[in-house]
Amino acid sequence: MRQVDPGYRPAVTSTAGSAPDSAPDNVQPGQGRQEALRHQPAPLRVVGLAEDAVHYLVTLLLFGVAVVVLYRTGRALFDSQLPFPENVTTVVNGALFVVIVMEVLRTVVAHFEHTGF
């Protein structure tokens, strides 16, 4: 069996098309996004804050869409005049749409968790 040096760390190679880290060198990985933005020039701070505002807006919009679709799907389940097979298909489509929207919402929230609030 091959012995591995405990101090060995593989070299980090950049992949083509990967986004560069926007935090300056003097900001530690544990610091939040707001702390990282304080060390940026003023125009970049404005862009960073605008990006955060757009992400918050998208988060609220996605959550609102999911709530409305879930409500309408629940209502369609009980108040529909459609035949049973069409009603079931409509309810399943609505539920799947909500799941997809929530997955997109999870991606946006993961961005906040990664960069800090």
Is 81 inside a domain boundary? yes
- Between CA 66 and CA 15, with CA 55 as vertex, the angle to 5 degrees is 110
- Identify the weakest region by mean pLDDT among 2-6, 11-15, 45-49, 69-73: 11-15
Is 41 inside a domain boundary? yes
Q: For residue 15, what pLDDT band results from cuts at 50, 70 and 90?
A: very low
Is 24 inside a domain boundary? no
Q: Which of 15, 8, 116, 112 is nearest to 62 (CA)?
A: 112
The pTM of this model reads: 0.59
Residue 23 has pLDDT above 70, yes or no: no
Expressed as residue numbers, the domain containing 45 is: 33-115
Is 16 inside a domain boundary? no
Give per-residue pLDDT as tens, 35-94.
Answer: 666 777 888 888 888 888 998 899 999 999 999 999 999 998 888 888 988 999 999 999
How many domains are there within the chain? 1
Is 4 inside a domain boundary? no
